């Protein structure tokens, strides 16, 4: 799709991104979507494929690119695509780390301790607002304040709901797996 824009139009979009135009960043991402999709398909670890699709990964990378566009100016001299690719690979790395057990992070434990089928069932059983809070806080790494703005719930309410969902997920993980250190996790929540 990059072929549909001239080099001058691409440079103009890059300039707009440097000036803080989020729409221009979205456009650059959309123009690079096909190539990024191929890279995601190639680089995405099997463990990650079990928990999310390439399209979901690309959505996460797109959001990360928009949030990090202030860093774009330094990389723009090289190539916007190289920068977007770096954002995609970093997104894969961040999500993969969350799925890797053993680091003691209480936010990771319940999600790594359950099978993807159990996680999917658990997510589907949540109320829409609780699922959204879990996704925003856990996967998109938004703060309580940022999640509050998106959901319209107070930051304290977001925190309470998030911790409640994490507790429920930990309990469900403890019920199905003896490999989970349930007592150790209980100290965190």
Global pTM exceeds 0.75: no
For residue 141, how far is the Cα from the chain centroid?
7
The one-character DSSP state at 3 is G
pLDDT score of 39 more than 60: yes
- Select the more confidently predicted residue: 148 or 59: 59
Report the C-alpha gap between 115 and 121 in whole angstroms: 10
What is the rounded distance in angstroms from the CA atom of residue 8 to the CA atom of residue 5?
8
Specify the range with the lowest mean pLDDT, choosing from 94-98, 107-111, 138-142, 153-157: 107-111
pLDDT above 60 for 123: yes
Most confident of 6-10, 73-77, 107-111, 158-162: 158-162
DSSP symbols for 66-125: HHTGGGHHHHHTT-HHHHHHHHHHHHHHHHHHHHS--S--TTTHHHHHS-HHHHHHHHHH
Give pLDDT tens digits for 165-176: 888 877 776 665
- What pLDDT is attached to residue 111? 42
Residue 80 has pLDDT above 80, yes or no: yes
| pLDDT score, position 87 | 92
Please indicate whether residue 85 or residue 87 has the higher confidence score (pLDDT).
87
What pLDDT does 3 receive? Answer: 54
Rounded Cα distance, 183 and 187, in Å = 7
- Segment 78-85 shows an average pLDDT of 78
């Amino acid at each position: 799709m990059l072929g549909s824009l001239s080099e001058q139009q691409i440079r103009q979009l890059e300039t707009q991104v440097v000036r803080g135009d989020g729409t221009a960043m979205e456009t650059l991402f959309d123009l690079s979507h096909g190539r990024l999709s191929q890279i995601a398909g190639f680089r995405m670890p099997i463990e990650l494929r079990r928990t999310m699709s390439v399209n979901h990964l690309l959505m996460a990378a797109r959001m990360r690119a928009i949030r990090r566009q202030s860093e774009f100016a330094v990389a723009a001299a090289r190539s916007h695509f190289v920068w977007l690719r770096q954002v995609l690979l970093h997104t894969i790395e961040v999500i993969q780390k969350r799925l890797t057990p053993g680091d003691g992070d209480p936010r990771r434990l319940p999600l790594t301790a359950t099978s993807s089928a159990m996680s999917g069932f658990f997510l589907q059983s949540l109320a829409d607002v609780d699922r959204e809070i879990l996704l925003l806080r856990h996967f998109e790494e938004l703060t309580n304040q940022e999640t509050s703005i998106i959901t319209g719930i107070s930051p304290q309410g977001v925190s309470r709901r998030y911790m409640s969902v994490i507790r429920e997920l930990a309990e469900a993980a403890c019920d199905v797996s003896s490999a989970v250190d349930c007592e150790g996790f209980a100290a965190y929540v």
